[in-house]
Amino acid sequence: MKELKLIINIACFICLFAACETIFDPDIEEQSIETVAPENESEISENLIRFTWTGLEDAEDYHFQLFNYTGGTTTEMDTTVSDTSVLLIAESYGDYVWRVRAENEVSETAYVYSSFFVPNDSLLNINLSNEIPVLLSPQDSLEVIADSLDFIWVTIEEASSYQIEIAKPDFSNSSNILYTNLLSENNYTWGEFTSGFHQWRVKAINESSESTYATRTFFIIE
């Protein structure tokens, strides 16, 4: 008998919990959201694209999908996020369609759709603002006796040039800069050093953007 009462109590608790879940997660099936950016049927001149849409107070997540319809249908992204935006790089040109819906534990809205076009020449202008060059040599905190040093970094495919700067002892003041140059290659040799601490840094550049500087320190021994 006691076991039966216990089972009934557990069942009642589960039902009460489910009811509370329903109370706290309203049905949003009849509600709707709207796409904000990119605007429908727009042309995007950069590859770094932020997708935004309006939110719902009763939504917990948003299901976002991006499709490329050039030469067939390709799913470029399929993800669920809690924010009302997604940031990504479009790696292919052509016609795109994106859609998004709001969701919670008990229901979901209908998808809303928007389209845009990425021209082929925009692939040459990928936004570098989130990139940081990878420096290879000289290594950070190197102590060395040398008349000259080879400065080498990893090539960034979307960069058309690199800005290299060398300073003593650091870049805290522009008057500390000993050397600056714009290069097309990912290496350079320089050698007008005096003993003491130095820093070198590199940033990548293309026609529409530039990266953050990557910086390293080294010490020249007499």
Provide the domain count of the chain: 2
Residue 15 counted as domain residue: no
Residue 22 counted as domain residue: no
Range of the domain at 73: 27-125
Q: What is the pLDDT of residues 51-83, one digit of tens each?
A: 999 999 999 999 999 999 887 788 889 999 988
149 lies in the same domain as 216: yes
118 lies in the same domain as 171: no
Give me the pLDDT at residue 14, please. 54
121 lies in the same domain as 139: no
Task: Supply the pTM of this predicted model.
Answer: 0.49
Say how many C-beta atoms besides its own lie within 10 A of residue 187's C-beta.
14
Residue 13 counted as domain residue: no
- Give CA 161 to chain center in angstroms: 22
Residue 2 counted as domain residue: no
Q: Residue 177 is part of a domain; what is its CATH number?
A: 2.60.40.10
Q: State the maximum Cα–Cα separation within the chain, in Å, rounded to a whole number.
A: 93
